[in-house]
Chain A
Amino acid sequence: MADLSLSSVPAASASFREALGAPFRSGALFHGKVRIALLLLVPILLLTVFAPLLPIQKPLETNLRAMMELPSIQHPFGTDKMGRDILSRTLAGVQISMLVGASVAAIALVSGMVLGTLAGFYGGKVDRVIMTIVDIFLAFPSLLLAIGLVSVMGTGLIPVILAISLADVPRFIRLQRSQVLSLRSRAFIDAARTVDASQFWLMSRHIVPNTLAPMLVAASIAAANAILIEASLSFLGLGIMPPSPSLGNIVRDGQMYLEQAWWISTLPGVVILLITIGLHFLSDGVRELLDPRARR
């Protein structure tokens, strides 16, 4: 009899969740990895958004009387050699990182879905042309490709976003194409073809909605990578140019004084780490929520 009472408990809590509505029904907020991700990302995002309201120096404001000061109440992350507040600069850097991450993910998602769908759905010549170009791009490591493109296009925010996107788009095309190929042979596509549905109808109603979930997961990983690549480029002096703060160039600035003032490089570095870990947990959690096989 013991097992009978045991088995009724999950059934009851399931109906409880059913009643609470969609996000609760899918259990998204109860999922462990998603919760860790939100705990990491939400505070950073809130601080970034409300940075202008915080009682700290402006990112570009110098204070020569407080150079290279240790973290304190007034300067929670300390100051650099020109007396600028590291926390304020870091938050401004996060803002740029987030912008880069979001735009890269959006560009890669949209162009990857369009080109990948066309390649997978039409096959033949269209597929061969698109995939040959994709293969050429995929032959380069993405950081190297981004460095090359930035050195051609010049530095600054827009070139950095474009360079990183261009390195990511081929991967998205490939992923989308493989999904389209497996969907194309499913019976519901045939079912729609028997009523003479147009090709646009097939792609927009049947194929794209079914590829969206894995593409969103890929996009969140791409966002995390883009943040890392932007930081790397800025660190190498190829990305966002000083005095505009970016996580990468703050770390670069502090690198020379690592022995006297460890906080200049280290604290923004930790922030990069937390954001990346957060985004990876988020994409992992989302993937598990969307794929019932990964749930146990």
Chain B
Amino acid sequence: MNYQARLANTMATTAHTLLEVRGLRTQFQTGSGIVTAVDGVSFTIERGERVAVVGESGSGKSAMAMSILRLLAHPGKVVGGQVLLEGRDINALSESQLNKVRGRQVGTVFQDPMSSLDPVMRVSKQMVEPMMRNLGIKRDEARAEAIKWLGKVGIPEPERRIDAYPFEMSGGMRQRVMIAMALSSRPQLVIADEPTTALDVTIQAQIVEVLKNLTSEAGAAMLFITHDLGLVARFAHKVAVMYAGRIVEFGRVEDIFARPCHPYTQSLLGTIPGTTMGKHERLPQISGLPPDMRKPILGCAFKDRCAGVHERCHAEAPALSDRGIEHDAACWLPKGLDSVAMLAPERSARAVVESAGTDKVIVELNALRKQFSTSKRMVVNAVNGVNLRVHRGETLGIVGESGCGKSTVARLLLGLEKPTSGDIYISGLAQMVFQDPASSFNPKMTIGAIVEEPLVVKRQGNRTERSAKVRELIEQVGLDPSHADRYPHQLSGGQRQRVAVARALALDPSVVVADEPTSALDVSVRAQIINLLVDLKQELGIGFVFISHDLLTVRYISDRIAVMYLGEVVEYGAAEEIFANPKHPYTRALIEAVPVPDPAIEARRINVPLQGELPSPLNLPIGCAFASRCPMATDLCRSTKPQLPNHDRARQVACHHAT
């Protein structure tokens, strides 16, 4: 029986069904037309079940979640369908009835905890009053209960921290407060919209564990929206894959990951560099862009990007149909694509120069330090004695949590900041690819002018030579030369990042520094940019410094990796070696915190996330900087700082306990 038919048969909600969504449609009335963000979505959530919704930005996953509680802001409107919570239609409730459902029956956790907490109200006030209302208890009881919940979500000293203001807490702490607030009224359903996207991997691992344990303890169901397939594997029971406002595949997490049946799901899973993938393999990528949601979509929405497209896809949109036990997909092909190889015909192994760089050193950092003084007495040690080398044709990956100083190293390398002490040697020129392609271009300049700017500033060539060079650069990064006349806002995020690469290459640099070049991009586009960077490195033989918190990408792209913690390099070595055999306890914790897109591996893992957060860089400890969070810390670690032995290319670990 297919999914739609099964839905129709369960008109009388079964005892286990908590939430049932039928044919939900949501539209946004914008100046340039009506955007149908959610286009007929149907699914059910059983009691205590964790359902993940995955999709790219613009796929309608957040609009769908917001529609369930009618939390959409002005131009958005639910135009059709039913949302049945325990058999009660939410769309038929009045605003005041709905307010009783929100918060009491359904708790919500949003992406940005700073904007979801009231900045001028103490945490206690924000927690206690809703609890008094929702649970019908007195102020003292509610306060005691709130403290209990703050303790459960892992906030140290909850009795004291409950009277703090949100700005006195870190991002991870605020997100914990949000979770405590959502769970404190003992809801039956928790809707979490990208609750860990703004957080570091180690904090993300902690938050995910807290959410998982507490919801299963309270028997609450969960609707979890994310774009991170690794998290889904770690966390969810069932997965709904959304594309262009519709669910294209729905099923149990094991089935989706082991036997994906929709080409989109298959491609998404293929684009993530696995833990074992070698550099000679090119990442499969999804070409093209998602459809314009303002226009009516004829046939299957994915047809323009699908490798298995045929005539029927252009005429008719497939509905969800049965692919196994509780597994449905919306595709005319019974098993989707035959193999992921169909995704990229040119995927053939690239010719790898496996030498991983020559002996010529192009970048050398010696005892580099950078201090920022925030006031007369306070000094932040952003970079605290870093020695690194990059050889020609080599990619150095720098990983670490936010605040570890990796971006400051990049800025020092490019001369955007002056070092406090130590020296930087660069043979040739260093250029940069910035994180956010939206703000790294002057909006008033055309793409051609942006790429040409370095040549103009350096007075290279005359006008015709420069425009020829610009065309060549734009073609080199895989764009059409006609893009030169457009403005940045007319390009997609991925295209903009290609332009950023073209500009960085304009002056023939010897090293290109890329600071989180893919973190603002969608999964499907990310693979395109990573492939481009790897290809260019092979082709031009230049050095790369790749800074990211995405460990799987860093492993795939880098020859050598430096792990940074509080302004210091704690481990350095060849990428494969570091991942296969991490020696520093911090490196180990980082690698363990990364969710792997494979439910089987995730299920076998015993997740004991790294406790605590990054200490303040204002007053660094005398001993090992990591001692406060390290499970192996001894008195030696707290009193003596382990030094990084200064060998050139060998493996280096700054730990007393590393063997």
Contacts and interface: CB of A to CB of B under 8 A. Distances in A.
Given A3-B27, A206-B442, A209-B442, A195 B458 contact: yes
B34 interface: yes
B432 A191 contact: yes
Interface string A252-296: 000000000000000000000000000000000000000000011
B31 interface: yes
B296 A7 contact: yes
Contact of B443 (A6, A10, A191, A210): A210
Given A11-B295, A186-B439, A210-B442, A191 B32 contact: no
Which applies to chain B's interface (DSSP): helix, strand, loop or mixed? Answer: loop
A42 interface: no
A16 interface: no
Interface string B436-449: 10011111110000
B440 A191 contact: yes
Contact of A195 (B32, B296, B442, B454): B454
A195 B457 contact: yes
A196 B27 CA distance: 48
B434 A11 contact: no
Given A188-B439, A191-B432, A196-B458, A296 B31 contact: yes
A194 B443 CA distance: 18
Contacts, number: 79
A201 interface: yes
Interface string B287-313: 000000011100000000000000000
Nearest to B79: A3
Contacts of A128: none
Interface string B389-433: 000000000000000000000010011100000000000001110
A4 interface: yes
A209 B431 contact: no
A144 to B, nearest CB: 37
Nearest to A295: B31
Contacts of A6: 34
Most central of B31, B411, B414, B442 by chain A CB within 10 Å = B442
A293 to B, nearest CB: 11
A125 B221 CA distance: 60
A47 interface: no
Interface string A207-225: 0011000000000000000
A73 interface: no
Contacts of A197: 453, 457
B31 A11 contact: no
Given A4-B296, A193-B416, A196-B458, A188 B442 contact: yes
A194 B444 contact: no
B453 A192 contact: yes
Contact of B430 (A4, A188, A193, A194): A194
Most buried by B among A3, A7, A191, A196: A191
B503 interface: yes
Contact of A194 (B34, B294, B295, B416): B416
Contact of B457 (A3, A10, A186, A196): A196
B33 interface: yes
A253 B33 CA distance: 56
A11 B30 CA distance: 11
Contacts of A190: 411, 414, 416, 432, 434, 440
A187 interface: yes
Contacts of B267: none
Interface string B1-44: 00000000000000000000000000100011110100000000
B507 interface: yes
A125 B441 CA distance: 30
Interface string A171-212: 000000000000000111011111111100100011001100
A208 B414 CA distance: 25
17 contacts: A3-B34, A3-B79, A10-B294, A186-B439, A186-B440, A187-B436, A187-B439, A190-B416, A190-B432, A194-B414, A194-B416, A194-B431, A195-B454, A205-B442, A205-B453, A206-B442, A296-B31
Q: Which 3 A-B pairs have the closest CB atoms?
A: A187-B440, A195-B454, A4-B296
Given A6-B34, A190-B440, A209-B444, 6 more contacts: A186-B439, A188-B441, A190-B432, A194-B431, A209-B442, A210-B443
